[in-house]
Amino acid sequence: MKNIVVLISGRGSNFEAILRASREENWEADGLRIAAVISNRPEALGLEKAREAGIEAVALDHKAYPTREAFEAKLAEAVDRYDPAVIVLAGFMRILTEGFVNRYEGRILNIHPALLPLFPGLDTHRRAIEAGCRVHGSTVHFVSAVLDGGAIIGQSVVKILPSDTPETLAARLLPFEHKIYPRCVRAVALGEVRLEDGCARMTDEVAERLAVLS
Ligand code: GRF
């Protein structure tokens, strides 16, 4: 069985979407299972949801560690316990050091709520509206040492309407995050997408599945 470990900090709706897909599509038949959810915030709602679903939920409070490196050493220990094929960052709000990221190169993914390479960083919905963009979206990418800069695996696109606020836009986008993230996680876990020379390699057929135009 290949293990998937999900790292969260908050509500965990992307984790729930991945869990739902894994059950509805019977990922276990393909040898994949979500082994654990780890949160750097003990109060994260997603931990509760994991427990309810019978998935191991681990709280690792970053505030309990004197340095980023000390926290990451513990985090790596917790992650490695599951020997994961894929590590999924789903609303995980800690910047990871190069050392941590390199340790898991090619098997650590993130979802970013913008059409990368546009708008890395925070406050993406407001920035897309203010830039006058007519479309916005979300991007699943391999995590590299550059913040929101790793190779792109999949993207989903939504329209921006003149009446949109950052809140309405975020709400319109979220269901599409929930659509592409499970697809991307599954594709990487099955080896349908690989990181090679800094690029996400996949066939046309896989790429069709991982680009969602609303
Ligand atoms: C999502 O919008 C994701 O794109 C961003 O953080 C948010 C996490 O939401 N990285 P959730 O915790 O998965 O509900």
Q: Let me know if residue 123 belongs to a domain.
A: yes
Q: Let me know if residue 190 belongs to a domain.
A: no
Which protein residue has the closest C-alpha to ligand 1 atom 9? 91
d(CA 183, CA 118): 22
Catalytic residues: 112
Q: What is the pLDDT of residue 214?
A: 85
Distance from residue 84's CA to the centre of ligand 1 (Å): 21
Domain that holds residue 51: 1-104
* Whether residue 74 sits in one domain with residue 11: yes
3-state secondary structure of 17: helix
Q: What pLDDT band is residue 73 in, cutting at 50, 70 and 90?
A: very high
CATH of the domain at 166: 3.40.50.170
| Tens of pLDDT, residues 10-59 | 999 999 999 999 999 999 999 999 999 999 999 999 999 999 999 999 99
Paired sense of beta strands 199-201 and 194-196, if any: antiparallel
* Whether residue 118 sits in one domain with residue 57: no
d(CA 213, CA 98): 33
Q: Look up residue 31 and give its two tokens.
A: 């040898």
* Whether residue 54 sits in one domain with residue 77: yes
- Cα–Cα distance list, 151 to 102, 138, 139 (Å): 14, 14, 10
The reported pTM is 0.97
| Cis amide bond preceding 117, omega within 30 | yes
Relative to the CA of 177, which ligand 1 atom is closest? 4
44: Cβ below 6 Å to ligand 1?
A: no
Containing 197, the helix (H) or strand (E) segment is none
- The length of the chain is 214
Distance from residue 162's CA to the centre of ligand 1 (Å): 24
* Whether residue 100 sits in one domain with residue 1: yes
Q: Look up residue 197 and give its two tokens.
A: 């020379």
* Whether residue 129 sits in one domain with residue 88: no
| Tens of pLDDT, residues 74-106 | 999 999 999 999 999 999 999 999 999 999 999
154: Cβ below 6 Å to ligand 1?
A: no
* Whether residue 119 sits in one domain with residue 89: no
* Whether residue 74 sits in one domain with residue 126: no
